[in-house]
Structure 1
Amino acid sequence: MKKTLLLLFIFTAALQIKAQEAIQYTVSFENAVHHEATISMYVTQLTTEPLIVRVSRSSPGRYATHEFGKNIYDVKAYNADGKEIIIEQTEGDVYTVPQHQDKVKITYTLFGNWVDGTYTGIDSQHAHLNMPASFMWIPALQNRPITVKFVTPQNWKIATQLILKDGFYHAPNLQYFMDSPTELSNYDVKTWEVENADGLKQQINIVLHGKTSDSTFNDFETKVKKVVKEAQAVFGELPKFDNGEYRFLIDVLPTNAGDGMEHRNSTIITNKSESLDKSANRILGTVSHEFFHAWNVERIRPQSLEPFNFEKANMSESLWFAEGFTQYYGELLLARAGINSAENFAKTQGRFLNSVLNAPGANKYSPIFMSKRAVFVDAGVSIDKNNHGNIFSSYYIYGNITALALDLTLRTQFNLNLDDYMKAVWQAYGKPEKPYQLSDLQNVLASYTQSPDFAKLFFEQYIYGTEKANYKTLLAKFGYVLKLTNAGKAWIGNEFLKEDNGKIIISSAAIKGSPIYEAGLEEGDKILKFEDGEIAGLAVMPEFLKAPIGYTVKVTFERNNEIMETKLTLLSDPNLEVISFEEAGLTVTPEIETLRQNWLGSKSKN
Structure 2
Amino acid sequence: MKKVYTSVLAYLIILLMSNSSVSAAVPVKISYTVSFPEAQAHYVDVEMNISGLNQPSLEVKMPVWAPGSYLVREFAKNVESLSASIKGKDVAAPKINKNTWKINTAGVSAVTIKYKVYAFELSVRTSFIDVSHAFLSTTGIFMYPKGMVSNPSTVIIKPYKDWNKVSTSLEMVNGDTFTRTAPNYDILYDSPLEIGTQDIFDFNVGSTHYEVAMYGGGNYDKERLKVDMAKVIEAEVAVYGENPNKHYTFIVHNKLRNGGGLEHLSSTVLGASRDQYGSERGYRGFLGLVAHEHFHLWNVKRLRPIALGPFDYDNENYTTNLWIAEGFTAYYQNLILRHAGISDVKSYLGDMAGDINTVENQPGSKVQPLAESSFDAWIKGYRPNENSYNTGISYYDKGAVVGMLLDLEIINNSNGKYSLDDVMKYMYDTYYKGKKRGYTDAEFKAGFEKFAGKNLDDFYAKYINGLADIDYNKYLGYAGYQITDELAETNEPSLGVFTNTRKIITTVLRGGAGWVDGLNVNDEITAIDDTPVTDVATMLKGKKTGDKINVTVTRDGQRIIIPVTLQRNNASRYTIVELPQTTARQIAVRNKWLKL
Q: In which range does the TM-score fall when normalised by the shorter chain?
A: 0.7 to 0.9
Q: Work out the CA distance in 2 between the residues paired with 1:94 and 1:159.
A: 29
Change (3 A) 1:337 1:372: same
- Select 1:343's aligned residue among 343, 346, 365: 346
Matched, 1:365 2:368: yes
| 114-123 vs 30-39, greater mean Cα deviation | 30-39
Q: Post-superposition shift, 1:325? A: 0.5
Amino acid at match of 1:104: V
- Residue 161 (structure 1) aligned with residue 166 (structure 2): no
Q: How does 1:146-295 map to 2 (within 5 A)?
A: 146-152=153-159, 153=161, 155-166=163-174, 167=176, 168-195=179-206, 201-211=207-217, 216-238=221-243, 240-241=244-245, 244-254=246-256, 257-273=258-274, 280-295=283-298
Corresponding residue to 1:56 among 63, 66, 70: 63
TM-score (structure 1 length as normaliser): 0.86
Amino acid across the alignment from 2:198: Y
**Corresponding position of 2:592:** 598
The aligned counterpart of 1:3 is none
Question: Per the alignment, do residues 540 and 98 of structure 1 end up closer, same or farther by CA in structure 2, a change over 3 Å counting?
Answer: closer
C-alpha separation in 2, matches of 1:83 and 1:65: 35
Hey, what does 2:522 align to over in structure 1?
524
Contact 1:210 1:276 in 2 (8 A): no
Q: How does 1:103-142 map to 2 (within 5 A)?
A: 103-142=110-149
Q: What SS does the corresponding residue of 1:306 show, helix, strand or coil?
A: coil
Q: Please say if residues 190 and 264 of structure 2, whose CA atoms lie closer than 8 Å, have aligned partners that are also in contact.
A: yes
Structure 2, gaps ≥5 residues long: 1-18
Q: Is the CA contact 2:495–2:566 (under 8 Å) kept in the aligned structure 1? A: no
2:81 to 74, 81, 96: 74
Opposite residue 436 of structure 1, the aligned amino acid is Y
Q: 1:15 to 1:444 in 2, by over 3 A?
A: farther
CA contact under 8 A between 2:29 and 2:52: conserved in structure 1?
A: no
In structure 2, relative to structure 1, the CA distance for the partners of 1:459 and 1:163 (3 Å cut) is same
Cα 1:280–1:127, aligned 2, differ >3 Å: closer, same or farther?
farther
> How many aligned positions are there?
565
- Within the candidate set 482, 492, 495, 2:494 is matched to 492
Rounded to whole Å, the distance in 2 between the matches of 1:18 and 1:517 is: 70
| Contact kept in structure 1, 2:163 and 2:195, CA below 8 Å | no
User: Which consecutive unaligned segments of at least 5 residues does structure 1 have?
Assistant: 1-11, 196-200
Distance in 2 (alpha carbons) for counterparts of 1:466 and 1:379: 22
Q: Partner residue of 1:544?
A: 540
Picking from 68, 89, 99, the partner of 1:93 is 99
1:245 is displaced (CA, Å) by 1.4
Q: State the shift of 1:420 in Å.
A: 1.5
Deviation track 1:264-300 (CA, whole Å, cap 9, x = no partner) reads: 1111112242686576443212101001101110111
Question: Could you tell me which of 526, 531, 537 is aligned with 1:535?
Answer: 531
Are the aligned partners of 1:211 and 1:276 in contact in 2 as well (CA < 8 Å)? no
Paired with 2:57 and 2:462, the residues of 1 have a C-alpha distance of 53
Query: In the alignment, residue 207 of structure 1 is paired with which amino acid?
Result: A
Q: Is the 8 A contact 1:482 1:576 kept in 2?
A: no
- Please show how residues 432-581 of structure 1 align to structure 2 within 5 Å: 432=434, 433-451=436-454, 453=455, 455-487=456-488, 488-492=490-494, 495-498=497-500, 505-527=503-525, 530=528, 533-537=529-533, 539=535, 542=538, 544=540, 547-549=543-545, 551-558=546-553, 559-560=555-556, 561=558, 563-581=560-578
| Letter paired with 1:202 | T
| Whole-angstrom CA distance in 2 between matches of 1:18 and 1:280 | 54
Equivalent residues of 1:58, 1:309 under 8 A apart: no
Residue 304 of structure 1 pairs with residue 307 of structure 2: yes
For 2:42 and 2:551, locate their aligned partners in 1 and report how far apart those are by CA, in whole Å.
Answer: 52
| Equivalent residue in structure 2 for 1:420, among 419, 422, 428 | 422
Given that 1:235 and 1:422 are in contact with CA atoms closer than 8 Å, whether structure 2 keeps it comes out as: yes
Cα 1:600–1:143 shift into 2, 3 Å: same
**TM superposition shift of 1:177:** 1.1
TM-score normalised by structure 2 residue count? 0.87
Cα distance per residue 1:389-439 (max 9 Å; x no partner)? 211111100101111111122223332321212222222223333211100
Task: Please state how far the C-alpha of 1:498 moved relative to its aligned partner.
Answer: 4.4
Over the matched positions of the two proteins, sequence identity in percent amounts to 25
CA contact (8 A) 2:321 2:441 kept: yes
**Which residue pairs with 2:7 in the alignment?**
none
C-alpha contact (below 8 Å) 2:59/2:103 kept by paired residues = yes
RMSD: 2.9
Which residue number in structure 2 is paired with residue 37 of structure 1?
A: 44
Partners of 2:20 and 2:232 lie apart in 1 by 42
> In 1, Cα distance between the equivalents of 2:323 and 2:25?
40
Select between 563-572 and 50-59 the one with higher mean Cα deviation: 563-572
Secondary structure (helix, strand or coil) at the match of 1:232 reads helix
Q: Structure 1 residues 350 and 565 mapped into 2: Cα distance closer, same or farther (>3 Å)?
A: same
1:569 positional shift: 3.4
Cα distance change, pair 119–483 in 1 and its aligned pair in 2 (3 A): same
- Larger RCO (alpha carbons 8 Å, 6+ apart): 1
- Paired with 1:117 and 1:568, the residues of 2 have a C-alpha distance of 45
Superposed displacement of residue 465, structure 1: 1.7
CA distance in 2, matches of 1:275, 1:598: 32
Q: What does residue 15 of structure 2 align with?
A: none
Q: Secondary structure at the match of 1:431?
A: helix
Deviations 1:532-570 (CA, angstroms, capped at 9, x unpaired):
x32231548658366554x14133434442534333232
Indicate conservation of the 8 Å contact 1:405/1:469, yes or no. Answer: no
2:400 aligns to what? 400
Q: CA deviation at 1:495?
A: 2.6
1:424–1:162 Cα change, 3 Å: same
State the alpha-carbon separation in 1 of the partners of residues 532 and 342 from structure 2: 45
Q: Tell me the secondary structure at the aligned position of residue 523 of structure 1.
A: coil
Tell me the amino acid that sits aligned with residue 45 of structure 1.
G
